[in-house]
Amino acid sequence: MADIFDVIVVGGGVVGCAVVWEMTSRGYRCLLLEKNENLISEASSGNSGMLHTGFDAPADSLELQCITYTFPRMFDVLQGFGLVYDKIGATMVAWTQEQASKLPLIAQRSKTAGISPTRELSVSELYSREPRLSRHAQGALWIPEETVVDPWLTAISFAHDARRKGAVIETDALVQNICKTDDQRVDVMTSRGQFTGNVVINCGGLYGDIVDKLAGLQHFSIAPKKGQYAIYPKKVKHLINSSILPIPTEKGKGEIIFKTVYGNVIIGPTFEESASRRRPESDSNTIQRLMRYGDSCVRGLGECPIVNTYTGLRPATETKDYWINSYPESCWITIGGIRSTGLSGSLGIADKVRNLIVNQHGLEPSRTKRTDLERIAIKFVPPSHAMLDDVTYTITHPITLSGIETRLDSQL
């Protein structure tokens, strides 16, 4: 008889990797199926690499619950695996009086959410912390816990540790069809053959609605939102001391000027409609506008040429919140619409999946649990690979790629 997996995860973005890691650690026999040649190749390879505190997540949302769960636990994971991070903090700057009037409400919301002890800064305090900021600021909010991580390394480490603990990971495996069997299991047909599992978890991100349709489900549709970024070299890292945030709007956190864990300064992301689910090219008008914006906020930034640009697509749906639902009769769980905070909410999402598997699907693990956090031996192999222990992975995220690139910096 063919192998039967306890859990089959469709999609190797940060969400699928976190889910397969959590379920494998808890003793479930897991299979991860990813359609691309490399894991972390879609939405998860075009983000800002920030571990957000949820300062702008709507109260009572699933998103806030998942962020609140993830935030304290992620540091144990990062330290356990030996991954880089920097709790650099964020400074939300009001450039007009109208924006400044919104700061107390944002501070109050963040306090209610309970993660980050935000504090309003006077203008003079702002300039003593961020002396290179343009001189027309009207007020600011300090969000001390905002953290930057390596978004590729964090996500790939979940998959790698799951693999170390016995998970099977198949790439180039496009899930094409599914079929419920008579004995309450699911056959999953892929471009690499058929697999059978007790529960399928749809972590299809930008394609989540298409994957759901294979199970006859149609509760949301993905309308991707594009983000563009401009990357500066590490030599300008002294220009900012924290991530510089604008006042958030209905569309999200806005365009941020931030420093990666490797020291590159980045401006972005934009928030634009996208007609396609395929990663778009950046357009020079938008990049020029981002650079002008950066120059108008941080003195000296405009004097330095950028070294690269990149784009990402958010798996947005018609609603703002996450879509996490379980369909025991179909042996199916859907994780959809993880739009802007998938990295920051990843452990909370994975924990919700575990609860659904236990409480709604009644599925017990078939193996012994292994929740230990063992250090990963990481060696970058420029220009585009990394070895984690003895496994070589292709790096897919521009933050990591720019971070390990030294040639461009030394040329400038």
Q: Which residues here bind ligand FAD, judged by CB under 6 A? A: 10-16, 33-36, 41-44, 46-50, 52, 174-175, 203-207, 211, 227, 269, 312-315, 338-344
Q: Which is nearer to ligand FAD, 27 or 312 (CB)?
A: 312
Give 8's contacts (C-beta < 8 A, 6+ positions apart). Answer: 30, 31, 33, 186, 188, 195, 197, 199, 200, 201
- Dihedral pair phi/psi, residue 402, rounded to 5°: -70, -35
Q: Which is nearer to ligand FAD, 63 or 130 (CB)?
A: 63
Q: Which is nearer to ligand FAD, 34 or 130 (CB)?
A: 34
Q: Which is nearer to ligand FAD, 118 or 228 (CB)?
A: 228
Closest CB 86 distance from ligand FAD, rounded Å = 13
Closest CB 354 distance from ligand FAD, rounded Å = 17
β-bridge partners, 90? 143, 243
Q: Which is nearer to ligand FAD, 70 or 198 (CB)?
A: 70
How would you classify the pairing of strands 90-94 and 243-245? parallel
Strand ranges (DSSP E) for 83-234? Answer: 85-86, 90-94, 119-121, 139-143, 147-149, 168-170, 175-180, 186-190, 193-202, 225-232
Closest CB 258 distance from ligand FAD, rounded Å = 9
Q: Which is nearer to ligand FAD, 236 or 266 (CB)?
A: 266
Q: How many CB atoms lie within 10 A of CB 392?
A: 10
Q: How many CB atoms lie within 10 A of CB 371?
A: 9
How many Å from the N-terminal Cα to the C-terminal Cα in the chain?
A: 61
Closest CB 14 distance from ligand FAD, rounded Å = 5
Longest Cα–Cα distance in the chain: 71
Q: Kindly tell me the sign of the dihedral angle through the C-alpha atoms of 352, 357, 361, 364.
A: negative
Give 137's contacts (C-beta < 8 A, 6+ positions apart). Answer: 93, 94, 95, 123, 126, 127
Closest CB 147 distance from ligand FAD, rounded Å = 10
Closest CB 219 distance from ligand FAD, rounded Å = 16
Q: Give the whole-angstrom CA distance, residue 263 versus residue 251.
A: 27
Q: Which is nearer to ligand FAD, 174 or 217 (CB)?
A: 174
Q: Give the whole-angstrom CA distance, residue 314 versus residue 403.
A: 23
Q: Which is nearer to ligand FAD, 197 or 315 (CB)?
A: 315
Q: Give the whole-angstrom CA distance, residue 180 versus residue 296.
A: 58
Q: Which two tokens stand for residue 253?
A: 């956190």
Closest CB 11 distance from ligand FAD, rounded Å = 3
Q: Which is nearer to ligand FAD, 24 or 44 (CB)?
A: 44
- Dihedral pair phi/psi, residue 317, rounded to 5°: -120, -170
